[in-house]
Structure 1
């Protein structure tokens, strides 16, 4: 743990905080730190995948080759999902910088500490997210 993490509020302190403290500098610092840690982990994973794919030698056995190719395809699919998450993390950090983090982009209401702890990249309150998903289902999306 680095020194910054030791000065940040805990999850319990965030959940127990007064509604008046919502998205206080301490809370924003907590979420920035969490997002940056997640970004660092994703970038480390991507580097490992790149190294793993590069060091894998060709195998003459067709069934071994098929297994290796299937493994690579799965790894690349996971990395593609992580790349999309990385973009969401970058956008969330940008919202912290502009003062929009933690507020529903649809209603302007607080997203809520609990939801942000579960999904730090959330841009919608739970109610707005549920509405959006219901509309998508109704319109076959």
Structure 2
């Protein structure tokens, strides 16, 4: 694999920037940047209370996912600025343009990512 070409880097930068802008454009409804849409739990039936708790949990999970995505995108843009973008953080080999087109925030090459996922199982 070769290192990324300047036009590929620019394409990936625009892709990362568009994704970041899209996440940042989502409405913010609470302090700290978290978008929590809490459902109020008032005296209701047990089924309604369970539904409200589930809705609150789902909202918190969605916010956590969004915050993780924001961190990953910002980190990728910082690596682009520092010149470290496109190299696997584990083995140091180039990640490859095709993988980065699909997942521009990727930090690991396919081989290292596969090993990491298998180790989690």
TM-score range, shorter chain: 0.7 to 0.9
Unpaired runs of 5+ in structure 1?
1-18
List runs of 5+ in structure 2 lacking aligned partners.
none
User: How far apart are residue 57 of structure 1 and its match?
Assistant: 6.5
Residue 15 of structure 2 corresponds to residue 34 of structure 1: yes
After superposing on structure 2, the runs of 4+ consecutive aligned residues of structure 1 that deviate more than 3 Å are 56-66
Q: How many residues align?
A: 116
- TM-fit CA distance, 1:97: 0.2
Residue 109 of structure 2 is matched in structure 1 by 125
RMSD: 2.7
- Describe the shift of the 1:132–1:70 C-alpha distance in structure 2 as closer, same or farther (beyond 3 A): closer
1:100 equivalent among 75, 84, 93: 84
Q: CA deviation at 1:101?
A: 0.8
Q: Tell me, yes or no, if the aligned pair for 2:40 and 2:52 is still in contact at 8 Å.
A: no
TM, length-normalised to structure 1: 0.66
Query: 1:124: Cα distance to partner?
Result: 1.2
Q: How many Å apart are 1:26 and its aligned residue?
A: 1.9
Higher relative contact order, structure no. (Cα contacts within 8 Å, ≥ 6 residues apart): 2
